[in-house]
Amino acid sequence: MAVTDSPVQARAKAKYVRSTPRKAQLVAEQIRGLPVPEARTVLAFSKRAAAKDVEKVLLSAIANAEANHDLIGDELFVQEIYVGQGPTLKRWRARARGRTGRILKRTCHIVVGLAELDEELRALYASDEPIDAAAELPEDADLEVAADDADSAVDEDVAQGEADESEAAVEPDESDEEADESEAPEPDAEAADDEVPVSGEPYEGYGDHTAKQVIALVGELTDEQLDAITAQDERVTVSRAIEKERKRRSEAETEEQES
């Protein structure tokens, strides 16, 4: 008793559908042999664009069966469905260097045939009820106890791990503290390196300071000190700052002479 042995009762055809045969064929294979309610559900929730075209043909076949053969649509199944290739629309678009690019717009023909379910199949689909997952579980007390024990064991492991992490955070390792103390630089040495020479004192050891520190002292240094820095310091920012300072001093001297 195979569903494919029933004769076709109603048929519908859609020609020149603007969809590629391959895309429509993938949808058709999903509903072949299914009862009409299930086929409509599959098409309604399908994410493929061709499902809408296939659904229109299916609804047309159902309407033909109900109007022409006095059948009930929900008591039918998809006996046959196939997709044939239709004519190809050829278009073109402009491309580089005066060339053209070909555009092929495929079309297809969709045919759906419905047949009436046998008595045994109709009773089988009519008695089909959703499965209750809770009712299918085995009524075994040992399994429930084992599951509870496994859950409690997992909870204990999680709690123990959190306790270990909290203890590690509260009580740091003494060896790590000693290593940090040995690696930490002395504050006096850093303060000595960051010190900036005072105005009026010979500017020595300027190479140990950053360019920003040197630029901050340019306005307070003498011309001899500026010459010494220019001869030894190759940093561009320092050279530009010294040039600006010399230009400012020359302009100031010119203004004093004119006044």
Helices (H), 75-173: 119-126, 133-136, 141-170
Q: Is residue 157 part of a domain?
A: no
Is 167 among the domain residues? Answer: no
Q: 232 in a domain, yes or no? A: yes
Q: Is residue 45 part of a domain?
A: yes
Quick check: is 133 in a domain? no
- Say yes or no: 14 and 111 in one domain: yes
Question: What pLDDT does 77 receive?
Answer: 93
pLDDT of residue 140: 45
Task: Note the pLDDT of residue 7.
Answer: 74
Q: Can you give the residue range of the structural domain that contains 217?
A: 199-258
> Closest Cα partner for 59 from 79, 37, 32, 30?
37
Residue 76 lies in a domain: yes
Residues 206, 229: contact at Cβ < 8 Å? yes
**Which of 112, 128, 144 marks a domain boundary?**
128
**Regions of the chain short of the pLDDT cut 50:** 1-4, 130-146, 187-202
Which of 82, 110, 128 is the C-terminal boundary of a domain?
A: 128
Burial class, 230, CB count within 10 angstroms (exposed 0-12 / middle 13-18 / buried 19+): middle
pLDDT at 206: 56
Model-level pTM? Answer: 0.47
Angstrom distance (rounded) from CA 230 to CA 239? 6
What's the pLDDT at 63?
94
Tell me, what's the pLDDT at 143?
44
Please check whether residue 74 is in contact with residue 37, taking contact to mean a CB–CB distance below 8 angstroms: yes
